[in-house]
């Protein structure tokens, strides 16, 4: 009834698949050795070279980044120091400028005051001089006028200068005395 | 019934070629009837079930399942020399060339900032370098054994994957030579690693594990010898071989059954074709997983053996 099953179990006259033929072994070895040589000689060295290069590149980049960072930090400190220095310098300059300005103003004030004083003094002196000259000329004119008047009044020529001068002086003195009394 | 019933003389005499099969036998094998099917043990039960289900419809002898002869296609180049080439060997050569070409293109001009293709290649190489070699062996020993481990992984993967590539349809590792060669290399490597690291004491430490009372050695030493020096390479090669053989037979079974149901079966049986086709599709996807997994397992076990040899306690 089941010839197929018995057939499966029977019939072992066929070649034994566990016993290798010579050509099978020869070609297996050739194929394996060729692949092995190729991996040994080309592929794995290439891969190793690339991996080493990659590791070096990564390490190099990290080192570069560290250097750059250190530089940046340095630049920052430098910049901060410069900034502080500039600030203090600015303060100094401002103070100096303020002092200078004060000095200039003071000097200008002094100069103006001195000039004013000088002008005032000159004006005083001029006025005084003019008053003196006015007094002198007045005294002379008033004297001669008064003498002329008196001559005409008393009809007598007072030729004697000495006398007339004394008279005038007495007159003026009386005049001044009267004014002082009035005051 | 003789296995080579129809002896068709192809070139007069039929010297058995290096695969141990006479050409006429091969012709016979191609149209082997159901009664000639021969499979690895783990497939027998499965195929038995299918054959039982099919038996009703194969009374007329229409359905032909896959046989072990799948793995012994006729040679077409250098026949009779040790360099005989058949379809599977050709697939190995083609895939090895593709592998070398791919990695050569991918690593030819590597840049520090990888492009898309380079990223993929790097991922592929790092899978072995970081996840297997450096994880288990550490940086120093990992670098020592890296070329070997990378070759084992990628060679296995690239020879496994043609099992589902249309046109190839059979894995380069489904012929026993390749698993044997790689297992022997792994075997030599871990013994070399042990002898190099612990000259003189490696064999003693492996066969006489420390901390065991001496009478126990009578039973432990043969077991250790058997498991380390005999079983390891055998399991390494058979695991890979059988996975690939079983996967291939399963796919052939699914697709030949589909062919049979769709074009030879009558009426309602045609519907079974859709089912077998779906199974073929699912198992094709599964075979991708198996291909990657077996490559990974082979490499990982090799690494573990090397690690054990290096770390042998004294």
Give the tens place of pLDDT for each residue, B298-310: 999 999 999 999 9
The two most distant CA atoms of chain A are separated, in Å, by: 208
Query: Which of the residues B110, B128, B159 would you substitute to probe the A interface, choosing the one with the greatest number of A C-beta atoms within 10 Å?
Result: B110
Q: What is the pLDDT of residue A159?
A: 61
pLDDT level of residue B31 (50, 70, 90 thresholds): very low
Measured between beta carbons, the chain B residues lying within 8 angstroms of A60 are: none
Pairs from B169-172 (Cβ < 8 Å, separation ≥ 24)? B169/B248, B169/B251, B170/B70, B170/B71, B170/B87, B170/B88, B170/B91, B170/B248, B171/B91, B171/B244, B171/B247, B171/B248, B171/B291, B172/A31, B172/B88, B172/B91, B172/B92, B172/B95
Q: What is the pLDDT of residue B268?
A: 85
Query: Which residues share a beta bridge with B77?
Result: B85
Q: What is the pLDDT of residue A161?
A: 72
Distance separating alpha carbons of residues A30 and A9, to the nearest angstrom: 36
pLDDT, greater one: B173 or B46: B173
Task: Spell out the residues 6+ positions from residue B118 whose beta carbon is closer than 8 angstroms to its own.
Answer: B106, B107, B110, B111
Judge whether B16 and B22 are in contact, CB under 8 Å: yes
CB contact under 8 A, A8 and B155: no
CB contact under 8 A, B44 and A9: yes
Average pLDDT over residues A10-22: 74
Judge whether B300 and B186 are in contact, CB under 8 Å: no
Q: Which of residues 35-94 of B touch A (CB under 8 A)?
A: 35-40, 44, 47-48, 51-52, 54-55, 58, 67-69, 71-72, 75, 78, 81-85, 89, 92-93
> Which residue from B minimizes the CA distance to A22?
B82
Q: What is the pLDDT of residue B1?
A: 36
Average pLDDT over residues A52-76: 93
Least confident of A43-57, A142-156, B120-134, B237-251: A142-156
Q: What is the pLDDT of residue B37?
A: 41
What's the ipTM? 0.78
Q: Mind listing the pLDDT tens digit for each residue in B122-146?
A: 999 999 999 999 999 999 999 999 9
Tokens at A1, concatenated: 């009834």
- pLDDT score of B38 more than 50: no
Domain residue limits, chain B? 83-310
Distance separating alpha carbons of residues B225 and A106, to the nearest angstrom: 117
pLDDT level of residue A4 (50, 70, 90 thresholds): very low
Q: What is the pLDDT of residue B11?
A: 43
- pLDDT score of A8 more than 70: no
Least confident of A72-76, B38-42, B99-103: B38-42
pLDDT level of residue A156 (50, 70, 90 thresholds): low
Task: Spell out the residues 6+ positions from residue B311 whose beta carbon is closer than 8 angstroms to its own.
Answer: none
Distance separating alpha carbons of residues B68 and B246, to the nearest angstrom: 10
Domain residue limits, chain A? 7-182
Distance separating alpha carbons of residues B247 and B163, to the nearest angstrom: 8
pLDDT, greater one: B66 or B9: B66
- pLDDT score of B12 more than 50: no
Question: Residue A135, CB half-sphere, CA atoms under 13 Å: how many?
Answer: 8
Q: What is the pLDDT of residue A40?
A: 93
Distance from CA of A68 to the nearest CA of B (A): 22
Q: Mind listing the pLDDT tens digit for each residue in B206-262?
A: 888 888 888 889 999 999 999 999 999 999 999 999 999 999 999 999 999 999 999
Measured between beta carbons, the chain B residues lying within 8 angstroms of A6 are: 35
Q: Mind listing the pLDDT tens digit for each residue in B273-305?
A: 999 999 999 999 999 999 999 999 999 999 999
**pLDDT averaged over chain A?**
86
Q: What is the pLDDT of residue B18?
A: 55
pLDDT level of residue A155 (50, 70, 90 thresholds): low
């Amino acid at each position: 009834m089941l010839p197929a099953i018995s057939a499966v179990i029977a019939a072992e006259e066929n070649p034994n698949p566990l016993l290798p033929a010579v050509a099978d072994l020869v070609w297996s070895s050739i194929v394996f050795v060729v692949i092995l040589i190729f991996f040994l000689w080309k592929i794995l060295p290439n891969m190793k070279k690339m991996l080493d290069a990659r590791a070096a590149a990564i390490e190099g980049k990290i080192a570069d980044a560290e250097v750059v960072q250190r530089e940046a930090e340095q630049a920052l400190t430098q910049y901060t120091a410069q900034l502080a220095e500039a600030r203090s310098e600015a303060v100094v300059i401002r103070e100096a400028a303020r002092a200078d300005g004060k000095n200039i103003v003071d000097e200008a004030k002094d100069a103006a005051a001195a000039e004013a004083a000088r002008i005032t003094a000159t004006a005083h002196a001029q006025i005084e001089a003019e008053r003196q000259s006015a007094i002198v000329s007045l005294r002379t004119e008033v004297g001669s006028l008064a003498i002329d008047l008196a001559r005409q009044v008393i009809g007598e020529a007072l030729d004697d200068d000495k006398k007339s001068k004394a008279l005038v002086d007495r007159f003026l003195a009386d005049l001044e005395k009267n004014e002082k009394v009035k005051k | 019934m003789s296995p080579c019933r129809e002896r068709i003389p192809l070139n007069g005499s039929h010297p058995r070629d290096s695969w141990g099969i006479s050409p006429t036998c091969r012709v016979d094998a191609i149209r082997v009837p159901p009664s000639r099917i021969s499979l690895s043990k783990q497939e027998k039960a499965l195929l038995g079930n299918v054959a039982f289900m099919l038996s009703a419809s194969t009374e007329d002898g229409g359905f032909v399942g896959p046989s072990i002869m799948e793995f012994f296609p006729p040679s077409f180049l250098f026949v009779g020399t040790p360099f005989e080439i058949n379809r599977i060997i050709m697939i190995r050569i083609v895939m090895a060339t593709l592998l070398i070409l791919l990695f050569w293109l991918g690593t030819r001009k590597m840049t520090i900032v990888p492009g898309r293709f380079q990223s993929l290649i790097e991922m592929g190489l790092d899978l072995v370098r970081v996840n297997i070699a450096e994880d288990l062996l550490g940086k120093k020993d990992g670098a020592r054994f890296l070329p070997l481990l990378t070759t084992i992984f990628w060679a296995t993967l690239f020879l496994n994957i043609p099992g589902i590539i249309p046109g190839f349809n059979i894995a380069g590792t489904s012929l026993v030579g390749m698993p044997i060669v790689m297992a022997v290399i792994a075997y030599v490597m871990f013994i070399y690693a042990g002898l190099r690291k612990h000259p003189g004491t490696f064999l003693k430490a492996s066969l006489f594990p420390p901390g065991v009372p001496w009478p126990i050695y009578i039973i432990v030493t043969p077991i250790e010898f058997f498991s380390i020096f005999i079983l390891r390479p055998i399991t390494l090669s058979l695991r890979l071989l059988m996975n690939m053989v079983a996967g291939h037979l399963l796919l052939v079974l699914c697709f030949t059954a589909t062919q049979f149901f769709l074009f030879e079966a009558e009426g309602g049986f045609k519907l079974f074709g859709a089912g077998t086709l779906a199974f073929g599709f699912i198992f094709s996807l599964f075979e991708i997983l198996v291909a990657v997994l077996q490559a990974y397992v082979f490499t990982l076990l090799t690494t573990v053996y090397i690690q054990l040899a290096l770390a042998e306690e004294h």
